[in-house]
C-alpha cells in the first residue's frame, strides 16, 4: 500500500497555477454537491444536514488520505435504498453503527490488499443492482413529484407503488408544475452553461418563485421543522455484540458497495487524467471516512463518479480540489442552511429522478441482453432481487450465482480425452509395436483447469476408456491449474494403477500443478523419473516397461 496521493503530489512541482485550478474546481464541485447532498439525505430518510455532514467530513478525509489524485467523496445514490431500510427497521442509531462497522471493514479490505480483487465482481451484478437501485430511487420520488398525500411510504417497491395508486386521486397540480419545470431546467441548463449545475439553478429558480407566488407545495421545512446549521458534533453510538451480529451483513454490503463505486470512480478518473490510483490506499481512506462520517452524524460515503468527473473537467488535478470542495460545502451550510427549508420537495424529487436516470445504465442494461444467457440470468436476478426484496440479498445471491455459473463454465471447458490415436510418433523412437503405439499403452490428455468441477469428469473418462493396459500416460500440457480435488483424483488413479501393476507416467506438467503435487509428496511417490518433459520421452519409458513385462509377465498382468 502506497502513501496517500496528497503527500506524493505536493512533493513534486506543485505550482501556484495548479493551486488556483484546484481551488476553482473545488468551489464548483462544492456548489454541485450542495443540492445533491441534501436530496440524497432526504431520499435516504434522514434530515438534509446529514448529507452535508457526509460531504464535509467524508469528502475531506477521502481526498486527504485517498489513493486517487482527483476523487471526490460524499453521499451517493448507491446507498439510498439500504440506508432507508436500515432506518425504517432499526432507527438512526443503527445506521451510525452500521456506517462505522462498514468503515472498519473497508480498512481491513485495504490492509489485506483486497482492492485489486473487488474489480473481479462480475459486471452483470454491478449493473443489475445499480439499475435496481436507480428504479427504487425513482419510485421514491413519485409521491413528492406529484404532491400525493400518502401515508408513510413502505420501503418495499411493490407496496410503495400500491400506495401511490391508492392515493392517486390526491395529485397536486402545483407540485406537478413545479416538478416539471425543475426537470426541464435540469435537463436544458447544460446547453446554456456546463459549469453551473442545473440542479442548483432549479433550486435557485423554483424556491423564490414558490415563496413569492404563494404556490402551495410541500417544502423541506414542512418535513423538517428545524434544520441544523451548526458544526457536526461527535456521537458515540451504543454498540453491543448482538447489534454487531445483526448489522454485520448490511455493513458488509455497504463496504462492498463503497469499494466498488469508489474504485470504479477512480478508474474512470485515471482515464481522464492519465494517472493510476492505488486501490488499497483508497479503500483505507474510504474506511476512515465512513468511520468519522458515522461518528459525526453523517451517512455512508464513497467516491462519486459524477462529481469526480466534474472536478477533472474544471481543472482539478490533486486532492487539494477535493478538500476545497468540502470546505465550500461547510461554508455554504453555515451561511445558507436556514434558507434550505424553503426548497420545494418537487424540485428535490426532480433532482433525484435525474440522479436515478444517470445511475440506471439503461443503455448498458439493454446491451447486456446480447451476452450469454448465464450473464443475462445474473443481471436479471440481481436487478429483480434489488427491486423486489433487498439489496443485501441481491448482492449475496448474485455473487453466489455467478460463482456457481463460473465453476460450471470452467468445468464445461475442461476436457479429458484419450488421445493415443492422435499422437504422431517421432520416427526416431523405437516402439515395441512396429505398427504404432502399443495397445497396452493408454494416453489421456487434460485440457483446461483441473479443479473440483472437473475431477469427477476425469475419473469417469479414465474408467470409461481404460482397456487392457500396462502403461497409462497422463499428458497435462494444457492444464494450467489444479486444486486439491484434482490432486485427489490423480491419487485415486495412482492407487488403481498400483493395484493393477500399471506404470503411471506424466508429461509436460505445468508449474502450478507440479508444485502442488510436489508439496503433497506425490512426485516422490510416483518417482521423479516418471514425470517426463515430452510425450516421446514418456513413450520410451512406456515401451521399455511393456517389453519387460511381456518377457517377464507380472502376476497381476494387464487389466481392463
**Residue that finishes a domain, picked among 335, 369, 404:** 404
Model pLDDT for residues 103-154, shown as the tens digit of each residue? 999 999 999 888 777 767 777 887 888 888 888 889 888 999 999 888 777 7
pLDDT score of 33 more than 50: yes
Q: What percent of the chain has pLDDT over 70?
A: 93
Q: What is the pLDDT of residue 1?
A: 61
Contacts of residue 67, Cβ cutoff 8 Å, sequence gap at least 6: 2, 4, 5, 266, 277, 278, 279, 280, 281, 282, 285
Same domain membership, residue 186 and residue 310? yes
Residues 509 and 476 occupy one common structural domain: yes
229 within a domain of the structure (yes/no): no
Checking 480-484 for CB contacts under 8 A at 24+ apart, the result is: 480/449, 480/510, 480/512, 480/513, 481/449, 481/450, 481/451, 481/512, 481/513, 482/449, 482/450, 482/451, 482/512, 482/513, 482/516, 482/517, 483/450, 483/451, 483/452, 483/516, 484/516
Residue 420 has pLDDT above 70, yes or no: no
User: Which residue reads 474504485 in cell numbers?
Assistant: 263
363-373 tens-digit pLDDT: 776 776 777 77
Mean pLDDT within 286-298:
95
Mean pLDDT of 190-219: 89
pLDDT at residue 425 greater than cutoff 70: no
At residue 554, the pLDDT reads 52
Does the residue 480 lie in any domain? yes
* DSSP classification of residue 304: -
Mean pLDDT over 380-387 rounds to 88
Mean pLDDT of 6-23: 86
Q: Which of 367-371, 408-412, 518-522 has the lowest mean pLDDT?
A: 367-371
313 and 426 within one domain = no
Residue bearing the bigger pLDDT, 386 or 506: 506
Is residue 6 scored above 80 in pLDDT? yes
What residue has cell string 472536478? 311
Q: Are 116 and 180 in the same domain?
A: yes
Give the per-residue pLDDT at 196.
81
Q: Is residue 3 part of a domain?
A: no
Q: Is the model's pLDDT at 209 over the cut of 90?
A: yes
Quick one: average pLDDT of 76-95? 90
Same-domain check for residues 441 and 400: no
pLDDT at 380: 87
Give the tens place of pLDDT for each residue, 355-365.
888 888 777 76
DSSP string, 7-57: HHHTTS---HHHHHHHHHHHHHHHHHHHHHHHHHHHHTTS-HHHHHHHHHH
Q: Are residues 21 and 168 in the same domain?
A: yes
Q: Which of 256-265, 386-395, 434-443, 509-518 has the lowest mean pLDDT?
A: 434-443
Q: What is the CATH number of the domain that holds 540?
A: 3.30.750.24
Domain count across the chain: 2
Residue 228 lies in a domain: no
What is the pLDDT, as a whole number, of residue 272?
85
Predicted TM-score (pTM) of the model is 0.74
3-state secondary structure of 477: strand
Residue 5: inside a domain: no
Would you say residue 521 lies in a domain?
A: yes
Domain final position from 347, 374, 404: 404
Print the domain residue range for 510.
Answer: 415-551
Rounded average pLDDT over 532-558: 75
Q: Is residue 383, in this structure, part of any structural domain at all? A: yes
pLDDT recorded at residue 113: 87
Least confident of 279-293, 438-452, 478-492: 438-452
* Look-up of cell digits 463503497: 258
Does one domain contain both 518 and 484? yes
Domain contains 422: yes
Are 52 and 165 part of one and the same domain? yes
Instruction: Give the per-residue pLDDT at 357.
Output: 87
Mean pLDDT on 10-33: 88
> Are residue 393 and residue 432 in the same domain, yes or no?
no
Per-residue burial over 448-472, b if 16 or more Cβ lie within 10 Å, else e, is bbbbbbbbebbbebbeeebeebbbb
- Please check the confidence at residue 300 and state whether its pLDDT lies above 50: yes
Both 437 and 398 in a single domain? no
Rounded distance, CA 99 to CA 109, Å?
15
Report whether pLDDT(552) > 60. no
24 and 135 belong to one structural domain: yes
CA gap 327, 35 in Å, rounded: 15
Give me the chain's average pLDDT, please: 86
| Residue 413 pLDDT > 70 | yes
% of the chain surpassing 90 pLDDT: 37
The model's confidence at residue 432, banded by pLDDT at 50, 70 and 90, is very low
On whether both 425 and 394 belong to a single domain, the answer is: no
pLDDT digits (tens, 9 = 90+) for 239-279: 889 999 999 999 999 998 899 889 888 888 888 888 888 99
Residue 430 has a pLDDT of 47
Helices 452-465 and 391-413, interaxial angle, to 10°?
Answer: 30
Q: Is the pLDDT of residue 46 over 70?
A: yes
Which candidate, 405, 399, 403, 444, places its Cα nearest to that of 421?
Answer: 444
Residues 295-318: what's their mean pLDDT? 91
The residue from 352, 370, 404 where one domain ends is: 404
Give the model's confidence band at 553: pLDDT under 50 very low, under 70 low, under 90 confident, else very high: low
Would you state the pLDDT for residue 426? 52
Amino acid at each position: 500500500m502506497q502513501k496517500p496521493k496528497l503527500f506524493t503530489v505536493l512533493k513534486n512541482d506543485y505550482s501556484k497555477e495548479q493551486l488556483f485550478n484546484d481551488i476553482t474546481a473545488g468551489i464548483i464541485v462544492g456548489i454541485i454537491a450542495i443540492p445533491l447532498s441534501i436530496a440524497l439525505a432526504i431520499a435516504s430518510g434522514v434530515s438534509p444536514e446529514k448529507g452535508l455532514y457526509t460531504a464535509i467530513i467524508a469528502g475531506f478525509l477521502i481526498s486527504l488520505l485517498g489513493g486517487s489524485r482527483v476523487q471526490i467523496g460524499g453521499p451517493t445514490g448507491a446507498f439510498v435504498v439500504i440506508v432507508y431500510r436500515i432506518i425504517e427497521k432499526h432507527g438512526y442509531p443503527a445506521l451510525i453503527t452500521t456506517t462505522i462497522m462498514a468503515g472498519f471493514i473497508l480498512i481491513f479490505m485495504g490492509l489485506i490488499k483486497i482492492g485489486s480483487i473487488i474489480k473481479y465482481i462480475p459486471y452483470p451484478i454491478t449493473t443489475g443492482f445499480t439499475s435496481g437501485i436507480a428504479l427504487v430511487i425513482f419510485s421514491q420520488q413519485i409521491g413528492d413529484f406529484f404532491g400525493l398525500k400518502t401515508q408513510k411510504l413502505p420501503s418495499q417497491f411493490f407496496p410503495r407503488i400500491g400506495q401511490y395508486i391508492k392515493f392517486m386521486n390526491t395529485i397536486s397540480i402545483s407540485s406537478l408544475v413545479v416538478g416539471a419545470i425543475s426537470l426541464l431546467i435540469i435537463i436544458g441548463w447544460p446547453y446554456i452553461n456546463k459549469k453551473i449545475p442545473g440542479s442548483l439553478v432549479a433550486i435557485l429558480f423554483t424556491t423564490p418563485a414558490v415563496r413569492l407566488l404563494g404556490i402551495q407545495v410541500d417544502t423541506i421545512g414542512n418535513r423538517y421543522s428545524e434544520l441544523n446549521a451548526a458544526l457536526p458534533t461527535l456521537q458515540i453510538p451504543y454498540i453491543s455484540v448482538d447489534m454487531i451480529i445483526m448489522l454485520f451483513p448490511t455493513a458488509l454490503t455497504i463496504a462492498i458497495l463503497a469499494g466498488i463505486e469508489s474504485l470504479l470512480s477512480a478508474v474512470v478518473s485515471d482515464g481522464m487524467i492519465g494517472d493510476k490510483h492505488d486501490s488499497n490506499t483508497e479503500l483505507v481512506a474510504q474506511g476512515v471516512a465512513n468511520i468519522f462520517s458515522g461518528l459525526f452524524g453523517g451517512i455512508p460515503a464513497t467516491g462519486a463518479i459524477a462529481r469526480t468527473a466534474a472536478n477533472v473537467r474544471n481543472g482539478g488535478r490533486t486532492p487539494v480540489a477535493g478538500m476545497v470542495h468540502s470546505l465550500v460545502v461547510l461554508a455554504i451550510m453555515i451561511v445558507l442552511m436556514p434558507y434550505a427549508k424553503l426548497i420545494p420537495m418537487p424540485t428535490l424529487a426532480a433532482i433525484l429522478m435525474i440522479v436515478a436516470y444517470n445511475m440506471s445504465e439503461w443503455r448498458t442494461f439493454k446491451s447486456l441482453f446480447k451476452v450469454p444467457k448465464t450473464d443475462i440470468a445474473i443481471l436479471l436476478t440481481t436487478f429483480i432481487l434489488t427491486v423486489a426484496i433487498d439489496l443485501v440479498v441481491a448482492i449475496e445471491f448474485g455473487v453466489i450465482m455467478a460463482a456457481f455459473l463460473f465453476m460450471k463454465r470452467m468445468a464445461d471447458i475442461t476436457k479429458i480425452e484419450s488421445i493415443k490415436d492422435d499422437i504422431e510418433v517421432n520416427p526416431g523412437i523405437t516402439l515395441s509395436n512396429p505398427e504404432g503405439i502399443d495397445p497396452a499403452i493408454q494416453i489421456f490428455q487434460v485440457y483446461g483447469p483441473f479443479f473440483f468441477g472437473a475431477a469427477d469428469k476425469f475419473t469417469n473418462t479414465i474408467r470409461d476408456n481404460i482397456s487392457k493396459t500396462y502403461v497409462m500416460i497422463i499428458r497435462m500440457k494444457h492444464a494450467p491449474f489444479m486444486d486439491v480435488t484434482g490432486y485427489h483424483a490423480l491419487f485415486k488413479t495412482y492407487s488403481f494403477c498400483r493395484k493393477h501393476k500399471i506404470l503411471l507416467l506424466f508429461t509436460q506438467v505445468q508449474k502450478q500443478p507440479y508444485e502442488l503435487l510436489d508439496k503433497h509428496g506425490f512426485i516422490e511417490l510416483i518417482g521423479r523419473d516418471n514425470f517426463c518433459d515430452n510425450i516421446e520421452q514418456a513413450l520410451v519409458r512406456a515401451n521399455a516397461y511393456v517389453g519387460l513385462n511381456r518377457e517377464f509377465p507380472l502376476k497381476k498382468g494387464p487389466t481392463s
